[in-house]
Amino acid sequence: MAIIKKSAILEKYNVAQTTLLDDDAEVRYAAGRLKESFEAFSFSKTYDIFLSHSYSDSRVVKQIRDMLINKGYSVYVDWIEDKHLDRGAVSEHTAQIIKNRMNGCSSLIYLTSSNAENSVWMPWELGYMDAHTGLVAVAPIIDDDEEFEGREYLGIYPYLDLTEDNFYIQTNSSTWVNLQGWMKGEKPEVHNSI
């Protein structure tokens, strides 16, 4: 039977450290870092967009975030803005922080992908934000040779489209509004083409 010995793990940990601290110093250091994170944390900070996503799509998420920021939007991504959060921990504490962040966001863009189907947070974020602001759009992330086959409930939301470096919110290929208008409450209208 294979077992993991604490001493062997701690020895590997110590070898990897550039500065070794005794246990008490380690606890004080970790507590200090956590305190710094919480002091820097501001519930009053607001964002235009909450990007709901799977961390497995992190490169795509970061690029879309950067593109939105370049268009003048403030964008919340948990692992960028709140590095102290444990994405793997479904806890009341983490849920409260995410709720507070969503309360400070005007809209949510749901970056759905094959990875998103495994997310424990995304459906919850979608439902919460839909009830909170009603400004929710789905952004299908697919490979070039794929067709979007999202979950049925995603079909009730408009979707985000990127055309020629501009973002649009569409209900179908001929009914759309630019992202800025949608953020101001404008509804998609019928157009001949984008």
Residue 1 binned pLDDT confidence (cut-offs 50, 70, 90): very low
**Is residue 5 in a domain?**
no
Number of domain units in the chain = 1
Return d(Cα 47, Cα 60) in angstroms, integer: 19
Lowest-pLDDT range, 18-27, 82-91, 95-104, 133-142?
A: 18-27
Question: What CATH number does the domain containing 114 carry?
Answer: 3.40.50.10140
**Is residue 144 in a domain?**
yes
Query: Does position 44 have pLDDT exceeding 80, yes or no?
Result: no
Joined together, the tokens standing for residue 101 give 């962040």
**Is residue 34 in a domain?**
no
Provide the pLDDT for residue 100: 93
Residue 180 binned pLDDT confidence (cut-offs 50, 70, 90): very high
Query: What tens digit of pLDDT does each residue of 129-165 get?
Result: 999 999 999 988 877 666 666 667 788 899 888 887 7
**Is residue 16 in a domain?**
no
**Is residue 168 in a domain?**
no
For the chain, give the mean pLDDT.
80
Angle at 131 between CA 103 and CA 67, to 5 degrees: 60
pTM check: above 0.85: no
**Is residue 50 in a domain?**
yes
Length of the chain: 194
Query: Does position 4 have pLDDT exceeding 70, yes or no?
Result: no
Domain extent at residue 102: 42-154
**Is residue 19 in a domain?**
no
> Which residues are within 8 A (CB) of 49 and not within 5 positions of it... i.e. 6 or more apart?
68, 73, 74, 75, 76, 105, 106, 107, 108, 109
